[in-house]
Amino acid sequence: MVKKVERVRRPTLSVGNADGIAAEHGFVLLEIICVVAIIALLAAIILPIMSRGTSRARLEAFAYQTAALLKADRNAAIRRRTQVRTQINAPARLIGSGGTGRQLQLPDDVTLDAMLASRCGDQPAGTAVIFFATGMSCGGVVALTRPGAGYQIRVNWLTGGVEVVPINLP
C-alpha cells in the first residue's frame, strides 16, 4: 500500500511570502555603496573635461572693472588738477590706478595686451595711460582676451573718454 503524503501548507500573508519580507524593506548597504561609486566614477570622468577657465561673463566683468579704474583716474586728474598715470603691466597681468592706488589682477588664462603711446608730451609713457588735468589723455587700447572671447578698452586721447568694445575671435 502506497501512502500518500499530504502537502503541508505554510501560512502566508496577503502581500507575499513571509520569508522574503525582511529583504524588501529598504536598500542594502552594498547597493548604496555601488551607486555612490558609480557617481564618483562619472564625476571623475566629467569634471576634468569641463572648462575651469574664465567665463565670457567674468571676462566682461574684468573689462568693465578696467574701464572703471581708467575713468576713476581721469576724474582724479581733473579733480586734483594734475597728471594721473594708470600703470599697465602686461606680463604680470596687472593694472594699477595712480589715483586710488587700487590694483586689478587678472587670472592666468586672460591675456593682457596694451597698445600705448611711447611718448606723451615731453615724457615717456610706454607702460601707462596718462590723464591730464584738462581731461585729455595720451590714449591707448587695452585688450583682454581668452580663447574664444575678448574685449578692448579704448581710451580716447582727445576727450579722455573710455569705452569697452567686444572683439570677435574665432
At 70-82, the pLDDT tens digits run 999 999 999 999 9
pLDDT of residue 136: 93
Question: Mean of the pLDDT values across residues 153-157?
Answer: 95
In our burial notation (b when 16+ CB lie closer than 10 A, e otherwise), range 74-100 reads: bebbbeeeebbbbebebeebebbbbbe
pLDDT of residue 55: 85
pTM reported for the whole predicted model: 0.69
Domains, the chain, ordered by start: 56-167 (3.55.40.10)
Let me know: does 155 contact 141? Beta carbons within 8 Å. yes
- Residue 144 burial (CB < 10 Å; 0-12/13-18/19+)? buried
Higher pLDDT, 23 or 40: 40
Instruction: Please report which confidence band the pLDDT of residue 137 belongs to, taking 50, 70 and 90 as the band edges.
Output: very high
Rounded-to-integer distance, Cα 26 and Cα 36, Å:
16
Higher pLDDT, 145 or 168: 145
Rounded-to-integer distance, Cα 114 and Cα 84, Å:
18
Compute how many other C-beta atoms are within 10 angstroms of the C-beta atom of residue 123. Answer: 12
Taking the CA atoms of 19, 20, 21 and 26 in sequence, report the sign of the dihedral they define: positive
Instruction: At 24, list the grid cell.
Output: 524588501
Let me know: does 66 contact 95? Beta carbons within 8 Å. yes
